[in-house]
Amino acid sequence: MSTIDLNSDLGENVPDRIVGDDEAMLRVVTSANVACGFHAGSPEGIRATLAAAVEHGVTIGAHPGYRDYEGFGRLPMDVDSATLQAHVEYQLGALQALAGAVGGAVAYVKPHGALYNTIARDERQAQDVVAAIRAVDPSLVLLGLAGGVVLDVAERAGLQVAAEAFADRAYTPEGLLVPRTEPGSVLHDPARVSARMVRLAQEGVLEAVDGTDVAVRAESICVHGDSEGAIAMAEATRRALEDAGVAIAPFAARR
């Protein structure tokens, strides 16, 4: 029986910007990528999400991003290395402290948004993020885009890595995510999304936007918490995977 993890980006709500239902998503996923305050979230909201993750037995990951609150961390930035490393270290430390305060612990790191996409192809920024993780806690697993540059950089630096795929995002024939600025980049149909993820788990392939199959080897599947219909997609995906005989378990626990 194959095994795969389900993760979601959580802890991003503030009173005037509610983007997802963390409590509902935590009943479905096995790993929670929790915002660290730079792109979204507030200390009290992040703490509440961490406490809920501990209550539901969900593995906690840090979700650091660029310092871009207004743009939700989705604006690409050319940040110098010293600044980027310090920003990531700061975010990891803050989340570790809040997680510990509610009886939890951070097990992995999954960068957010534009930072995530940049380090999938930009070796310099990838090295900065890896350096930050090593400085804060080298036992943390780095979760990144399957085939991304950062996974190679991290492995060379001695970090444990895991690759992920996205349930609710379209892929290019090269195995990259279709930019959110392009039509059809975000998927919303639970039936289509769940069928794609079953094929991913069983065959290691996804259909790209041009209709061709692209090889994607992943240990974890992400359903964005702020996507339209996120809970329905996550529930349908988990149900379809389990019906197909795929076990659902946190990837970090398998290290």
Alpha-carbon 192 to chain mean position:
20
Ranges of beta strands (E only) in 36-193 are 59-63, 106-109, 141-145, 161-166
Summary mean pLDDT of the chain:
95
**Residues 110 and 152: beta-carbon distance below 8 Å:** no
Enter the pTM of the model: 0.95
Pairing status of strand 247-248 against strand 213-215: unpaired
User: b vs e for 48-79, b when ≥16 Cβ sit within 10 Å of the residue's Cβ?
Assistant: bbbbbbbeeebbbbbbbbbbbeeebbbeebeb
- At 254 the pLDDT is 65
The superfamily (CATH) of domain 3-169+217-254 is Glycoside hydrolase/deacetylase (3.20.20.370)
- Domain segments of the chain: what residues? 3-169+217-254
| Residue 217, SS3 per DSSP | coil
Residues of the chain short of pLDDT 70, as ranges, are: 1, 254-255
Q: What is the pLDDT of residues 141-163, one digit of tens each?
A: 999 999 999 999 999 999 999 99
Quick one: angle between helices 123-136 and 149-156, nearest 10? 40
